[in-house]
């Protein structure tokens, strides 16, 4: 059973309650987006029904005391920290970071706050540039940023915001040693920018090229082939998240030997294993994902390659950005 919430918070609330009360589902898989996941959280807590979360990464979800969320994805605050590590590892002289964030997006705020805090811990001077989602002209912010002469530019906006910003960074001939945008982690970025995507960095929850041996389920290459055979296109990490949540649920049900939500929640809280997607381990209290690591990819010669973490990297980082 599935329903379309139309990306509406109110619809999401109604439909989640319907699935629990009327449809009496045994397993409840969450919506896609942090805002919708946050809207569903009080409802699943009320009915003591696990929300298996594959689509909400804002840290705010896990800071409000909800008990019935089990998350498989790295939280937003850690999306861009690996990029900072990547640069710091090869350029000890890099000192300044500029972060663009949509001030009206919980996800964007979480990404920016996490990256900013981590950057300061690593000794960077961090400057934030805030804007309203849907902004069409970043000229004013870009001109202000140029005066700061950052080594690293990071952006955590919505997909369309990041695409517009990327185009205007190129139009204004903004130079930085490394430029990382959340949108740059998926192939849609290359489809929109073409050859101009070269050198951009992006975070991603999963990539086909990750060399890991799963404890359960298919290998990354097997998943890739199955998905492509079924749908006629290559999977990006949101598709991998959707498949992976099914594997996590299956593992927990088999371990617990029941569909009882309390038993499943306890099982998920003490379980640690690896799938094609990476490591699964949650904070037993909040349900937030603490085992899975973000990857950092870079567009090189028209393809994206993992450049961080080092142990699974497919290519070396091209630095400074061409």
Question: Tens of pLDDT along 33-79?
Answer: 999 999 999 999 999 999 999 999 999 999 999 999 999 999 999 99
User: Cα–Cα–Cα angle for 59, 140, 299, nearest 5°?
Assistant: 60
Tell me the angle at which helices 139-148 and 159-171 cross, rounded to the nearest 10 degrees.
Answer: 60
Dist CA 97 CA 93 (whole Å): 12
Tell me the mean pLDDT in the region 184-210: 96
pLDDT of 312 reads 92
Tell me the mean pLDDT in the region 241-251: 97
Q: How far apart are the first and last CA of the chain?
A: 48
pLDDT of 131 reads 97
Same fold, 9-73+213-280 and 78-204+296-312: yes
Dist CA 192 CA 163 (whole Å): 8
Query: Phi-psi region for residue 58, left (φ > 0), alpha (ψ -120 to 50) or beta?
Result: beta
pLDDT of 29 reads 98
Give the confidence band of 105 by pLDDT, cuts at 50, 70, 90: confident
The residue written with tokens 């449809």 in the block is 23
- Please say if the pLDDT value at position 243 is more than 90: yes
Neighbours of 100 (CB within 10 A): 25
Identify the bridge partners of residue 296 per DSSP, sorted by sequence position.
Answer: 203, 308
Q: Kindly list the distances between the CA atom of residue 52 and the CA atoms of 121, 181, 252, in Å, as whole numbers in the listed order.
A: 33, 27, 11
pLDDT of 102 reads 95
Where do the structural domains in the chain lie, given as residue ranges?
9-73+213-280, 78-204+296-312
Cβ atoms of 241 and 54 within 8 Å: the answer is yes
- Reduce the DSSP state of residue 226 to 3 states and report it: helix
Identify the bridge partners of residue 131 per DSSP, sorted by sequence position.
Answer: 102
- The CATH architecture that domain 9-73+213-280 belongs to is 3-Layer(aba) Sandwich (3.40)
Cβ atoms of 25 and 16 within 8 Å: the answer is no
Q: What pLDDT digit, counting tens, does each position of 281-316 carry?
A: 999 999 999 999 999 999 999 999 999 999 999 999
Q: Considering only CA atoms, which of 150, 155, 84 is closest in space to residue 122? A: 84
Dist CA 120 CA 77 (whole Å): 14
pLDDT of 161 reads 96
Contacts of 265 (CB under 8 A, 6+ apart): 50, 67, 68, 70, 287
pLDDT of 49 reads 98
Could you please state the CATH topology (level 3) that the domain comprising 78-204+296-312 is classified under: Rossmann fold (3.40.50)
From the number of C-beta atoms within 10 Å of its C-beta (0-12, 13-18, 19+), residue 25 rates as middle
| pTM > 0.85 | yes
pLDDT of 106 reads 85
Tell me the mean pLDDT in the region 71-97: 96
Render 64-113 in DSSP notation, one character per residue.
S---SEEE-S--GGGTTHHHHHHHHHH-TT--EEEEEEETT-HHHHHHHH
């Amino acid at each position: 059973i599935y329903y379309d919430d139309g990306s509406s918070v109110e619809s999401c609330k109604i439909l989640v309650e319907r699935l629990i009360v009327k449809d009496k589902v045994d397993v409840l898989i969450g919506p896609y987006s942090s805002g919708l996941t946050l809207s569903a959280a009080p409802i699943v807590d009320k009915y003591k029904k696990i929300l298996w979360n594959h689509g909400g990464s804002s840290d705010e979800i896990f800071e409000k005391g909800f008990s019935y969320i089990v998350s498989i994805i790295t939280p937003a605050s850690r999306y861009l920290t690996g990029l900072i590590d990547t640069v710091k590892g090869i350029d000890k002289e890099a000192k300044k970071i500029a972060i663009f964030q949509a001030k009206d997006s919980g996800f964007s705020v979480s990404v920016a706050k996490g990256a900013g805090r981590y950057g300061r811990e690593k000794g960077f001077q961090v400057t934030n540039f805030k804007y309203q989602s849907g902004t069409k002209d970043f000229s004013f912010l870009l001109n202000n940023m140029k005066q700061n002469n950052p080594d690293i530019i990071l952006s955590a906006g919505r997909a369309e915001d990041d695409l517009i910003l990327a185009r205007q960074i190129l139009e204004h001939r903004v130079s930085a040693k490394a430029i990382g945008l959340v949108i740059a982690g998926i192939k849609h970025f290359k489809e929109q920018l073409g050859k101009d995507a070269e050198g951009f960095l992006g975070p991603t929850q999963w990539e086909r090229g990750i060399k890991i041996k799963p404890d359960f389920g298919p290998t990354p290459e097997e998943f890739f082939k199955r998905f492509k055979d079924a749908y006629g296109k290559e999977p990006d990490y949101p598709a991998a998240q959707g498949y992976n949540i099914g594997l996590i649920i299956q593992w927990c049900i088999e371990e617990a030997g029941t569909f009882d939500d309390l038993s499943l929640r306890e099982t998920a809280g003490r379980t640690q294993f690896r799938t094609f997607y990476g490591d699964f381990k949650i904070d037993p209290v909040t349900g937030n994902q603490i085992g899975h690591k973000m990857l950092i990819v870079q567009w090189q010669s028209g393809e994206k390659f993992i450049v961080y973490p080092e142990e699974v990297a497919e290519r070396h980082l091209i630095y400074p950005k061409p």
